[in-house]
Amino acid sequence: MLSVVVPARNESANLAPLLDRLVPVLGGLDLPYEIVVVDDGSTDATFQTVMALRERERRLKLVSLSRNFGKEIALAAGLRYATGDAVVLMDADLQHPPETIRDFVAKWREGYRFVYAQRRSRHGEAPLRRFLAKRFYRVFARVGEVALLEGGGDFCLLDRKVADALAAMPERNRFGKGLYAWVGFKSAAVPFEVQSRLAGRSQWSLWRLWTYAIDGIASFTTVPLRLWTYVGAAIALLSLAFGAAILLRTLIWGAEVPGYPSLFVAVSFLAGIQLIGLGVIGEYIGRIFTEVKQRPLFLVDAAIGFDDKATDPAPPAAPTKS
Ligand code: UDP
Ligand code: MG
């Protein structure tokens, strides 16, 4: 069986067109299938739209979260409910052409456990966004502990093994692309062209992308922490050399009084440097804090269509407490 997990936040206008294209594709695969829409705290009629669509498509299921948890967590919720031997993750806004799923399944049948769509270009995006994304991949490639799949990752097919591995990861700061890379397994890329969003607006502001990038770096490397040792060592060495120079100069030419401006610059520069260092440490401590609280990753308000039970508030496999 194939499961398709679709995270949706305020996508009521897109779900019917999505289904119109998705169902024929899935029907032609000659595999039983289910479509799991995760309503991620939508404030529009997404819930009602899915319920209405269920009248004509019984294989459509709905997991409704108690509030907005963000796409990555919505995906984790979908993964926990999806029961297929393979799980496709795709956006609800038709930016991911459903027809690509045919190629996914073909690759999966060849034995690949992780098949992802790789965009051919980023030309639909604003130049600033494209530039920043490029930078991010550049930086991540240098410091990250895993190699990210460039130009892809959020439209993909996961074999059951990969899906289970991801569902078993309890981390709260979920950086999907990094997690896919971390689990490994034999993977294949399928080229595709990103479409523009059918209706509505992207939920990803530049600020949110920035936070996501920091999440990515902080979840997959401790290099920023270690960096401060070197920054500190370099500044200490420079100060020693400077001190020695001043000592020599004083011994040879005597003491001179001026120097307050330079003193002030040095003090404020160092204060700034130290605060940045503290901020970086804070990033990591904040992450430790959210992890040790051990709150559930998400809360489900209703799960509809699973085992034909009307509501099932408890996820099938609750995260294990260690
Ligand atoms: N999404 C979600 N929760 C959120 C934000 C987005 O489930 O808090 C879903 C959204 O409905 C869509 C997908 O994630 O199906 C991608 O979101 P969007 O189109 O806003 O992002 P972009 O395509 O700009 O990366
Ligand atoms: Mg989108």
In the chain, % helix, strand, coil (3-state, to 5) comes to 50, 15, 35
Half-sphere exposure in the Cβ direction for 159 (13 Å, CA): 17
For 275, the token pair is 């605060």
pLDDT at 308: 55
Predicted confidence band of residue 158 (pLDDT cuts 50, 70, 90): very high
Q: What is the pTM of this model?
A: 0.75
Query: Could you report the per-residue pLDDT of 108-143, keeping only the tens digit for each?
Result: 999 899 998 888 776 666 788 788 888 888 888 888
Q: Report the distance separating Cα 242 and Cα 245, nearest Å.
A: 5
- Pocket-testing residue among 4, 65, 68, 93, ligand 1, by greatest number of atoms within 8 A of Cβ: 93
Q: Are 213 and 179 in contact (CB under 8 A)?
A: no
Query: Could you report the per-residue pLDDT of 238-270, keeping only the tens digit for each?
Result: 888 888 888 888 888 877 667 777 787 788 888
CA of 175 to the centre of ligand 1 (A): 14
> What is the position in ligand 1's atom list of the atom closest to the CA of 95?
23
Nearest CA to ligand 1 atom 6: 71
What is the SS3 string spanning 34-82?
EEEEEECCCCCCHHHHHHHHCCCCCCEEEEEECCCCCHHHHHHHHHHHC
Write out residues with Cβ below 6 Å of ligand 1: 7-9, 11, 40, 68, 70-71, 74, 91-93, 95, 197, 202-204
> What is the position in ligand 1's atom list of the atom closest to the CA of 91?
15
Q: Are 1 and 83 in contact (CB under 8 A)?
A: yes
